[in-house]
Amino acid sequence: MSTVAVVGAGAMGEAIVAGMLARGWQPADLVLAVRRPEHAEALRESYGVEVTDAVTAAAKADVVLVGVKPYDVHGVLMQIGPRLRPDALVVSLAVGLTTAHLESALPEGTSVARVMPNTPSQIGAGVSVISAGASCDDAQLGVVDDIMSAVGTVVRVPEQLQDAAGAVSGSGPAYVFLAIEALIEAGVHLGLPRTTSTQLAMQTFVGASRLAAETGEHPAVLRERVTSPGGTTAAALGELEARGIRAAFLAATRAARDRSTEIGG
């Protein structure tokens, strides 16, 4: 297995570390870099991994995952670039930043890949969208696939579709949480106790998602099976359509995609 450095082991970085260890990587295969000493000590105690500074971590690794905020990425790459191994692969987890932008801060010819994970990765149920930079070959992208598979499903897309994919899956959990929140509040307004409404809404989303994923049937087919002509569900869906639910999702994902592009610029 490759030696992997995780520079910026926040919530997502730590989730990846935990997933990798659960999938068979050894603590010796990993080296982490974080800013706060207390966080470093907690990571050592939890996972038995080496925690050091970014430059030292990067110099030891075949693959360097950069999990810092987008506005910190350029500075981190400028720091670690001179110490990278000649055949190192640098993987960015930052939204919006193109591989060309990443490559511009690294030694010429450095292999780069771009990943957009989402928050369900914290429980091993995420989806990560990955794209290769100019010098990243299929074997190296396969390593990225192996790493991100430790926290869920991996989807490869051409880089020009990264911002669009992130608008669906990267931001997508927030849309789902908002829908759950709205359904809970609706139940409360109908007279349900909040605990009961919460339980009903949560499990309905879990069950519907599992049904769609496990049957592989188109969501429209599954929706039609719930919707009896002239029934309660038909009445409810009529209200959602009248209030423009499809147009709202289209506008929301376009806004997310455009904001990702702005961040990258």
* Whether residue 22 is found in the same domain as residue 141: yes
* Whether residue 215 is found in the same domain as residue 129: no
Residue 211 CA to residue 221 CA, distance in Å, equals: 12
The string of pLDDT tens digits covering residues 167-207 is 999 999 999 999 999 999 999 999 999 999 999 999 999 99
Residue 121 DSSP symbol:
G
pLDDT-derived band at 262, boundaries 50, 70, 90: very high
Q: Does the pLDDT value for residue 26 go beyond 90?
A: yes
241 located within any domain: yes
Long-range contact set of residues 37-44: C-beta below 8 Å, sequence gap at least 24: 39/9, 43/9, 43/14, 43/17
- Give the model's pLDDT for residue 105: 95
* Whether residue 154 is found in the same domain as residue 185: no
- Give the model's pLDDT for residue 9: 80
CATH code for position 176 = 1.10.3730.10
- Give the model's pLDDT for residue 254: 97
Q: Does the pLDDT value for residue 107 go beyond 70?
A: yes
193 located within any domain: yes
Residue 96 CA to residue 219 CA, distance in Å, equals: 29
42 located within any domain: yes
